Structure 1
Amino acid sequence: MQKSRLIPLLIALLPVIVVAIFVGIPALMALAYSLGFIGGPNAAIALLDQHLVTPEQGLTLKVYQDLLRDRSFLQNFWATIWVTIASVALILVVSWGLALYIRFSHGWFPHIISSIYLVPLFIPVVIASYAIVTFWNANGYVSALVARLGMHFPGFGYTLFGVVIGQLWVNLPFAILMIVSGLQAVPDALIEAARDVGAPMSRILLRVILPLNILPTVITGTFTGIGVLGSFTVPYIIGPTAPSLLGVAMASYFQAYNAPQQAIAMAVIVFILAAALGIVYVRANVVSDRKAGTLQ
């Protein structure tokens, strides 16, 4: 009996052990390295670090203090925050608009739209990023088209707004899938009952549809925000040289500046921001379960 219980437990623990060995322990050692611990597994990388910060005794927060006083890092940090907020807001607006159109429209055109929005899933991010730069750049297609009208278009390539457009392209399919699935779960009887009592579509949207789709919206926003915070390809290809997003800045510090300690500290800061979004996601799930009566 004990052996029959032990085998399923070992099978269940196997992925946990793999994650702990290949992710958990390296992450903890990296965190310790950012705090000044240069012994053990961190000894090799400490020999190559040209900007190493070591404490006189114990651990130190000097790496983080220096980053928070660094003007370049602060510009990158606030650029990352701005791009994340703008990307999440734009993605939610566009995904809600398209999801409502797909949900409540009839005919052949909504079916075409419901297929087209999945196209970005099958296009590599690198190719899509180069395509966006070519299309929106100062010398791109839109600029040439506007020039025909005698006007000048500076373009969105190599700008933070260009990064937002790129994030919209990359994250829109997932966002629409989540919102559409939430809208499909709203019973038609509720909508028809609201229409029977004379409620306009705006009131139905605010009082019936939106309250029933708070959780899919929160999931979309939090997952999109976490993805944008740590993104590299889109801001690297489309974004400006300065300020750059933290994903690009981390790679630069690690490879070009040979400062892995500072790069790891940036990664920890990004993790804290992503964890805050994760708390919002978990909180939304707990509230939803309580309202559904599945959690006491």
Structure 2
Amino acid sequence: MKTDPQTPHGARGAASRAPAAPGRTRGFVMALPPILLIALFIGVPIVLALGFSFGFTGGLNHTISVIGQNVHEAHGAPTFGAYADLFSDSRFVDDLAMTVTVAVVSTSIVIALAVGIGLYLKFAGGMVGKVLSALAVVPLFIPVVIASWAILGFYSADGFLRSLAAQFGLGFPVFSFTIVTVVIGSVWTSLPFATLLVTSGIQAVPQAMIDAARDAGAPFIRVVASIVVPMAGVPIVIATTFTAIGILGSFTVPYFTGPNSPNMLGVAMSNYFSAFNQPQQAVVMAFVVFAIAAGIAAVYVWANFRSAKESGAV
């Protein structure tokens, strides 16, 4: 097709860009349904819950404010009464401390195990490495409820470990309904995803760089600290953030295996909402967990941005 030499260059450019507008509109319309769905079923409830935590009890929050107990109402300006009420409660402070402790300890153990398995696969491999990696993902195929009950029975007063120790005249501590079983259950449920992500990142480290460091006389610790971990740093950070956020908001494991008090905030929210009939305090707990998770998610966003920058996408 020949271009008319009399047609101005600007007119030809405008004509070539004209079909782009309908394409953008069509793409926006196609993406609109899921956006509206998320806004309707996630965004609106979050906004309502945030307003309810600050004492706005009108509109869609009216019914729950009438039914609930110890509800702080805003008179024109937002009120922080529910937040002050909750943070002055020693039970909530203990629950918050336990939640953060379990998240930190469990995440540290999960990442340490995942990195250890990844390093073994990278440097040793063989049948033992394959068995370790296979065992690490087994919890992925076992429901959390079943695993929680199994862990609870395994460490109970008449469980396997105490029964085995009794055969030799020894005693073994009872871990059921303690923070120890919560940590064990959290590690069990979080290990598969972290192992898959971390081992894939470690396996992606070029073997040539490791061999060059070894040829230069670098010991194993130096190779791991200076080459493997920095190059696999982004997958490790992503696995850490996902694990921490998942443990932070967990419910099933602490509900079945943890103590009655203190407990993790996931269980405490349920108790405040249903058993204590204090929905406003439960919502405040949810936003406290959200604030902590948002701080962890910021690290995840930074890791993704760094990964994209290194790949040249940014």
Same fold, TM exceeding 0.5? yes
Q: Deviations over 1:151-189 (max 9, x none)?
A: 221222111121111011000000110111101110111
CA distance, structure 1, for counterparts of residue 266 and residue 246 of structure 2: 11
Contact 2:118 2:203 in 1 (8 A): no
The equivalences for 1:245-256 within 5 A come to: 245-256=264-275
Of 148, 160, 169, which residue of structure 2 is paired with 1:150? 169
1:233-268 superposed Cα distances (whole Å, 9 cap, x missing partner): 000001110000000000000010111110000000
Distance in 2, Cα, partners of 1:6 & 1:290? 30
1:262 matched residue in structure 2: 281
Match of 1:106 in 2: 125
| Equivalent-residue separation in structure 2 for 1:112 and 1:85 (angstroms) | 27
Using the TM superposition, give the Cα deviation of residue 44 of structure 1 relative to its aligned residue in structure 2, in angstroms: 1.4
Write the distance in 1 (CA, Å) between the matches of 2:99 and 2:24.
48
Cα RMSD (Å): 1.4
- Residue among 221, 235, 241 paired with 2:260: 241
Q: Which runs of 5+ in 1 are unaligned?
A: none
Structure 1 runs of 4+ aligned residues shifted over 6 Å read none
State how far apart, in whole Å, the 1-side matches of 2:91 and 2:102 are: 17
Aligned position for 2:233 = 214
Map of 2:95 onto structure 1: 76
Q: Deviations over 1:114-167 (max 9, x none)?
A: 222221111100000000111112221011111222222122211112111101
Q: State the Cα distance separating 1:6 from its structure 2 match.
A: 1.9
Structure 1 length-normalised TM: 0.96
Runs of 5+ consecutive residues of structure 2 not aligned to the other structure = 1-18
If you compute each CA radius of gyration, which structure gives the higher value, 1 or 2?
2
Matched-pair contact (CA < 8 Å) for 2:117–2:129: no
- Displacement of 1:3 after TM fit? 4.2
Distance in 1 (CA, whole Å) between partners of 2:126 and 2:89 is 56
Aligned residue among 154, 167, 188 for 2:207:
188
Once residues 107 and 271 of structure 1 are traced to their aligned partners in structure 2, the CA distance between those partners, rounded to angstroms, is: 43
> How many pairs were matched up?
295
Percentage identity across paired residues of the two chains: 43
TM-score, normalised relative to structure 2: 0.90
Distance 2:72 2:47 in 1: 18
Q: Secondary structure at the match of 1:231?
A: coil
1:228 corresponds to 2:247 = yes
Partner of 2:142: 123
